[in-house]
Amino acid sequence: MTTSTSFLPASELVSAEPAQAVLPRGCTFTESDWRALAPFWYPVAFSHEVGSQPYAATLLDERVVVYRLSDGTLAAARDICQHRGVPLSMGHVEGDEIICKYHGLRYDREGRCTCIPAHPGGAISPRLRLQMFQVQERYGMVWVRLVDNGPLALPEMNEWDDPAYLTVLPNSVSIKAAAGRQIEGFLDVSHFAFIHTESFGEADNTAVPDYPITKTPAGFVADYISTVSNYSHGYKHLNPPGFLWRRRFEVYYPFTAKLTVFFPNDGQLHIMNAASPVSARQTQLFVPICRNFDKDAPLQATLDFNHQVFAEDIAIVERQWPEDLPIDLQEEAHFPADRSSIAYRKGLAALGLGLSYTA
């Protein structure tokens, strides 16, 4: 055998890249829903979690590996070596190459196999090429999208890079619920007096004033003003008499929403709720937070309060039925306080998601 020939017959020397993305094995989404969701950006890890050691994640049922190259840039690929199906996340990175733990195959930043140690100097089949994904990092998180359908901006949280703001990164949370249900719960303003009575909700303040919905290129904005204080119960005395609390929800389809709470004395609290769909009914929630007040206060109090509020929500979301979010507005009843959820469901339908249920 000479080193000028490939290890596979010439008839099989074709690119392994499909013309259209193939659904993950055992996909829990319908094909149409998966294809509608795959072109969007989702966080899969925190930046500090991804170094030269490959990091394994799951997104829309697809196994993904993310890793950092020698120049600090990130790479993301389907978490499988094309030789014998071993997860590349079991391997390691050297320079600009990720190396499979099983047989030492090396792949460059474009996903091309550059070396088969068992046959040094031998020609390499083009089948030995990784399926690469787009990846970027913002707001302390690593974002991946599985299908490139052209330019698509990340959800916006420009305050994160503003030195006037303190940034906080709580741990991500695993939720046994559909991402759409979780996002809709985050947008809901009529449950404060019932679900959040231990954190900030006021049981005697149940009325929901009317609020406007404004469409945006990426989703919509719900601008809600009420007398419900955002202070935790231990600090309600700080609420100025008659102060009106403004909560501005900015939705980025399909599963990200940013809440801005306007505090007294020009204080602003920004919370990004980025629900990453692991599968149709499993969600990994990332919640970067920043504020321009109380910058010297201990962070643990913020982390504890954030955890409490989201735990109260999760306890409900994980019990909702049907488990998936009904897109057909006739499937569930609605009242005027549900303006944001109605707009959200209409927006998901416009993306092409199934009208009965979706993730």
168-186 pLDDT tens trace: 999 999 999 999 999 999 9
Q: Are 258 and 271 in contact (CB under 8 A)?
A: yes
Same domain, 227 and 313: yes
Q: Is the pLDDT of residue 44 over 60?
A: yes
Q: Is the pLDDT of residue 270 over 90?
A: yes
129 in a structural domain: yes
Query: What pLDDT score does 325 carry?
Result: 93
Query: What pLDDT score does 4 carry?
Result: 33
Sequence-distant (6+) residues with CB within 8 A of 73 are 109
Other Cβ atoms closer than 10 A to 249: 24
Query: What pLDDT score does 151 carry?
Result: 87
Cα three-residue angle 194-274-98, rounded to 5 degrees: 150
Q: Which ranges of 161-245 would DSSP assign to H, the alpha helix? A: 179-187, 192-195
CATH number of the domain residue 45 falls in = 2.102.10.10
Same domain, 63 and 169: no
Q: In which element (H, E) is residue 342 found?
A: helix 339-350
Residue type, 198: E
Same domain, 127 and 249: no
Helix and strand tally (H, E) in the chain? 5, 21
26 in a structural domain: no
Task: Single out the residue of 161, 149, 155 nearest to residue 42, CA to CA.
Answer: 155
12 in a structural domain: no
Same domain, 184 and 331: yes
31 in a structural domain: no
Q: How confident is the model at residue 235 (pLDDT cuts 50, 70, 90)?
A: confident
Q: Which two three-digit tokens encode residue 225?
A: 């003003």
Query: What pLDDT score does 283 carry?
Result: 98
126 in a structural domain: yes
Q: pLDDT by residue (tens digit) across 135-166?
A: 999 999 999 999 998 889 999 999 999 999 99
For the CA atoms of the chain, what is the radius of gyration?
23
Classify the phi-psi angles of 323: left when phi > 0, otherwise alpha if psi is within -120 to 50, otherwise beta. Answer: alpha
What percent of the residues of the chain are helix, what percent strand, and what percent coil, each to the nearest 5?
Answer: 20, 30, 50
Half-sphere exposure (Cβ direction) of 28: Cα atoms closer than 13 Å: 19
Return the DSSP state at 38.
T
Same domain, 69 and 113: yes
> Exposed/middle/buried for 123, CB within 10 Å: 0-12, 13-18, 19+?
middle
Query: What pLDDT score does 18 carry?
Result: 38
Same domain, 140 and 185: no
310 in a structural domain: yes
Q: How confident is the model at residue 11 (pLDDT cuts 50, 70, 90)?
A: very low
CA distance 268 to 165: 9
Query: What pLDDT score does 5 carry?
Result: 30
Same domain, 322 and 218: yes
Q: Is the pLDDT of residue 205 over 50?
A: yes
264 in a structural domain: yes
Percentage of residues of the chain with pLDDT beyond 90: 82
Q: Which two three-digit tokens encode residue 179?
A: 């991402």
Same domain, 129 and 176: no
22 in a structural domain: no
Query: What pLDDT score does 16 carry?
Result: 35
Q: How confident is the model at residue 14 (pLDDT cuts 50, 70, 90)?
A: very low
Q: Are 212 and 355 in contact (CB under 8 A)?
A: no
CA distance 90 to 88: 5
Task: Single out the residue of 274, 281, 226 nearest to residue 251, CA to CA.
Answer: 274
Query: What pLDDT score does 359 carry?
Result: 61
Q: Are 281 and 176 in contact (CB under 8 A)?
A: yes
CATH number of the domain residue 240 falls in = 3.90.380.10
Q: How confident is the model at residue 201 (pLDDT cuts 50, 70, 90)?
A: confident
Q: Which two three-digit tokens encode residue 61?
A: 């049922």
Structural domain including 319 reads: 158-351
Please give the tally of structural domains in the chain.
2
Q: Please identify, among 98, 121, 145, the residue that sits at the C-terminal boundary of a domain.
A: 145
Residue type, 100: C
pTM of the full structure? 0.91
Same domain, 132 and 178: no
User: What's the mean pLDDT in 126-139?
Assistant: 95
